[in-house]
Amino acid sequence: MKKTDSELIYYTLSGEKCILNSDKHMEESLTVILSELSTMRSFISEVIANLVLKEKESSVDDDRSTILEACQLLLQFQSSFGKLLPELYESLVNTISQLEYGRFCFEKKISTGTIERCPTINYDKDNFLILRDRLFALSLMPGAIHLHMDIRLQVICSYMEWSTDKLDAYNFTLNAEGFRLILSPK
Protein backbone atom coordinates (compact mmCIF):
# COMPACT_ATOMS: atom_id res chain seq x y z
CA MET A 1 0.00 0.00 0.00
CA LYS A 2 1.40 3.32 -0.98
CA LYS A 3 0.34 6.77 -1.94
CA THR A 4 2.04 8.43 -4.87
CA ASP A 5 1.31 11.88 -6.26
CA SER A 6 -1.26 10.53 -8.68
CA GLU A 7 -2.27 7.06 -7.47
CA LEU A 8 -3.49 5.61 -4.21
CA ILE A 9 -2.51 1.95 -4.49
CA TYR A 10 -4.13 -0.64 -2.24
CA TYR A 11 -3.33 -4.34 -1.98
CA THR A 12 -6.29 -6.39 -0.79
CA LEU A 13 -5.98 -9.09 1.84
CA SER A 14 -5.99 -11.59 -1.03
CA GLY A 15 -3.07 -9.77 -2.71
CA GLU A 16 -4.96 -8.01 -5.51
CA LYS A 17 -3.62 -4.60 -6.53
CA CYS A 18 -6.17 -1.78 -6.84
CA ILE A 19 -5.86 1.90 -7.65
CA LEU A 20 -8.45 3.52 -5.43
CA ASN A 21 -8.45 7.11 -6.62
CA SER A 22 -9.35 6.54 -10.24
CA ASP A 23 -12.07 8.82 -11.60
CA LYS A 24 -13.17 6.16 -14.05
CA HIS A 25 -13.50 3.38 -11.47
CA MET A 26 -15.10 5.01 -8.43
CA GLU A 27 -17.75 2.33 -8.02
CA GLU A 28 -15.15 -0.45 -8.29
CA SER A 29 -13.01 1.28 -5.67
CA LEU A 30 -15.98 1.52 -3.34
CA THR A 31 -16.77 -2.16 -3.89
CA VAL A 32 -13.17 -3.10 -3.07
CA ILE A 33 -13.17 -1.00 0.10
CA LEU A 34 -16.52 -2.31 1.37
CA SER A 35 -15.44 -5.88 0.61
CA GLU A 36 -12.13 -5.35 2.39
CA LEU A 37 -13.80 -3.94 5.49
CA SER A 38 -16.06 -7.00 5.61
CA THR A 39 -13.13 -9.35 5.08
CA MET A 40 -11.19 -7.60 7.84
CA ARG A 41 -14.06 -8.11 10.27
CA SER A 42 -14.18 -11.84 9.44
CA PHE A 43 -10.39 -12.12 9.63
CA ILE A 44 -10.31 -10.55 13.10
CA SER A 45 -12.91 -13.08 14.32
CA GLU A 46 -10.93 -15.99 12.87
CA VAL A 47 -7.70 -14.85 14.51
CA ILE A 48 -9.43 -14.48 17.88
CA ALA A 49 -10.99 -17.95 17.54
CA ASN A 50 -7.58 -19.45 16.70
CA LEU A 51 -5.98 -17.72 19.67
CA VAL A 52 -8.68 -19.01 22.02
CA LEU A 53 -8.01 -22.54 20.72
CA LYS A 54 -4.26 -22.12 21.25
CA GLU A 55 -4.86 -20.81 24.76
CA LYS A 56 -6.95 -23.87 25.63
CA GLU A 57 -4.32 -26.23 24.20
CA SER A 58 -1.38 -24.52 25.87
CA SER A 59 -0.08 -26.00 29.09
CA VAL A 60 2.50 -23.30 29.87
CA ASP A 61 1.15 -20.44 31.99
CA ASP A 62 3.39 -17.82 30.35
CA ASP A 63 2.15 -18.79 26.90
CA ARG A 64 -1.44 -18.72 28.08
CA SER A 65 -1.12 -15.25 29.59
CA THR A 66 0.54 -13.91 26.41
CA ILE A 67 -2.24 -15.40 24.30
CA LEU A 68 -4.92 -13.98 26.60
CA GLU A 69 -3.29 -10.54 26.41
CA ALA A 70 -3.28 -10.73 22.60
CA CYS A 71 -6.94 -11.79 22.67
CA GLN A 72 -7.81 -8.78 24.83
CA LEU A 73 -6.12 -6.39 22.39
CA LEU A 74 -7.89 -7.99 19.44
CA LEU A 75 -11.26 -8.00 21.19
CA GLN A 76 -10.91 -4.27 21.95
CA PHE A 77 -10.06 -3.61 18.31
CA GLN A 78 -12.87 -5.86 17.09
CA SER A 79 -15.41 -4.07 19.28
CA SER A 80 -14.38 -0.58 18.15
CA PHE A 81 -14.14 -1.65 14.51
CA GLY A 82 -17.54 -3.36 14.60
CA LYS A 83 -19.20 -0.27 16.08
CA LEU A 84 -17.78 1.98 13.37
CA LEU A 85 -18.55 -0.23 10.35
CA PRO A 86 -22.30 0.37 9.82
CA GLU A 87 -21.93 4.15 9.89
CA LEU A 88 -18.76 3.99 7.79
CA TYR A 89 -20.44 1.78 5.15
CA GLU A 90 -23.40 4.14 4.84
CA SER A 91 -21.25 7.24 4.68
CA LEU A 92 -18.91 5.75 2.07
CA VAL A 93 -21.79 4.68 -0.16
CA ASN A 94 -23.51 8.08 0.11
CA THR A 95 -20.34 10.06 -0.49
CA ILE A 96 -19.21 7.99 -3.47
CA SER A 97 -22.66 8.22 -5.06
CA GLN A 98 -22.41 12.00 -4.68
CA LEU A 99 -18.94 11.84 -6.19
CA GLU A 100 -20.31 9.95 -9.21
CA TYR A 101 -23.06 12.55 -9.57
CA GLY A 102 -20.51 15.35 -9.24
CA ARG A 103 -18.36 13.85 -11.96
CA PHE A 104 -21.40 13.54 -14.24
CA CYS A 105 -22.39 17.20 -13.67
CA PHE A 106 -18.78 18.32 -14.08
CA GLU A 107 -18.40 16.50 -17.41
CA LYS A 108 -21.76 17.85 -18.59
CA LYS A 109 -20.76 21.40 -17.70
CA ILE A 110 -17.38 21.03 -19.41
CA SER A 111 -18.84 19.48 -22.58
CA THR A 112 -21.70 21.95 -22.93
CA GLY A 113 -19.81 25.00 -21.72
CA THR A 114 -22.69 25.92 -19.44
CA ILE A 115 -22.26 29.41 -18.07
CA GLU A 116 -24.83 29.33 -15.27
CA ARG A 117 -24.41 27.60 -11.95
CA CYS A 118 -25.20 23.93 -11.50
CA PRO A 119 -26.61 22.31 -8.35
CA THR A 120 -24.10 21.95 -5.53
CA ILE A 121 -23.30 18.43 -4.38
CA ASN A 122 -24.56 18.04 -0.83
CA TYR A 123 -23.07 15.54 1.56
CA ASP A 124 -22.16 15.60 5.24
CA LYS A 125 -18.49 16.45 4.85
CA ASP A 126 -17.93 17.07 8.55
CA ASN A 127 -19.33 13.67 9.51
CA PHE A 128 -17.35 11.98 6.73
CA LEU A 129 -14.12 13.55 8.00
CA ILE A 130 -14.98 12.59 11.59
CA LEU A 131 -15.45 8.99 10.43
CA ARG A 132 -12.10 9.18 8.65
CA ASP A 133 -10.47 10.39 11.87
CA ARG A 134 -12.12 7.61 13.87
CA LEU A 135 -10.92 5.04 11.33
CA PHE A 136 -7.41 6.47 11.53
CA ALA A 137 -7.53 6.24 15.35
CA LEU A 138 -8.56 2.58 14.98
CA SER A 139 -5.57 1.98 12.72
CA LEU A 140 -3.30 3.00 15.60
CA MET A 141 -4.78 0.49 18.05
CA PRO A 142 -2.43 -2.34 19.06
CA GLY A 143 -4.90 -4.92 17.70
CA ALA A 144 -4.82 -3.34 14.22
CA ILE A 145 -1.04 -3.13 14.28
CA HIS A 146 -0.74 -6.74 15.46
CA LEU A 147 -2.87 -7.88 12.50
CA HIS A 148 -1.01 -5.61 10.05
CA MET A 149 -4.25 -3.79 9.26
CA ASP A 150 -2.92 -0.40 10.29
CA ILE A 151 -1.56 0.55 6.86
CA ARG A 152 -4.64 -0.83 5.08
CA LEU A 153 -6.95 1.29 7.21
CA GLN A 154 -4.74 4.34 6.72
CA VAL A 155 -4.90 3.92 2.93
CA ILE A 156 -8.69 3.82 3.19
CA CYS A 157 -8.47 7.05 5.23
CA SER A 158 -6.40 8.59 2.42
CA TYR A 159 -9.07 7.47 -0.05
CA MET A 160 -11.72 9.19 2.07
CA GLU A 161 -9.65 12.37 2.07
CA TRP A 162 -9.20 12.14 -1.72
CA SER A 163 -12.99 11.80 -2.06
CA THR A 164 -13.66 14.98 -0.11
CA ASP A 165 -11.00 16.90 -2.05
CA LYS A 166 -12.55 15.71 -5.31
CA LEU A 167 -16.05 16.71 -4.20
CA ASP A 168 -14.79 20.14 -3.17
CA ALA A 169 -13.19 20.57 -6.60
CA TYR A 170 -16.41 19.53 -8.36
CA ASN A 171 -18.45 21.92 -6.23
CA PHE A 172 -16.08 24.76 -7.03
CA THR A 173 -16.44 24.13 -10.77
CA LEU A 174 -20.19 23.57 -10.61
CA ASN A 175 -20.69 26.83 -8.71
CA ALA A 176 -18.50 28.83 -11.07
CA GLU A 177 -20.17 31.19 -13.48
CA GLY A 178 -18.70 32.22 -16.80
CA PHE A 179 -17.02 28.85 -17.10
CA ARG A 180 -17.00 28.83 -20.90
CA LEU A 181 -14.97 32.03 -20.97
CA ILE A 182 -12.34 30.52 -18.72
CA LEU A 183 -12.14 27.29 -20.73
CA SER A 184 -11.99 28.61 -24.26
CA PRO A 185 -11.47 32.33 -24.68
CA LYS A 186 -12.43 33.50 -28.17
- pLDDT, tens only, 92-106: 988 888 888 878 877
Q: What is the DSSP string of 3-71?
A: E-SS-EEEE-TT--EEES--GGGHHHHHHHHHHHHHHHHHHHHHHHHHHHHHHHH---HHHHHHHHHHH
Q: Are strands 8-11 and 2-3 parallel, antiparallel or unpaired?
A: antiparallel
Q: What are phi and psi of 16, to 5 degrees?
A: -75, 135
CA distance 45 to 27: 28
Q: Are 20 and 162 in contact (CB under 8 A)?
A: yes
**What would the pLDDT profile of 53-100 be if each residue is shown by its tens digit?**
988 888 888 788 888 999 999 999 999 999 999 999 999 988 888 888
Residue 4's pLDDT is 47
Q: What pTM value is reported for the model? A: 0.80
Report the domain count for the chain: 1
CA distance 57 to 53: 6
Containing structural domain, residue 20: 2-183
Q: Are strands 8-11 and 17-19 parallel, antiparallel or unpaired?
A: antiparallel
Tell me the sheet residues that pair with 19: 9
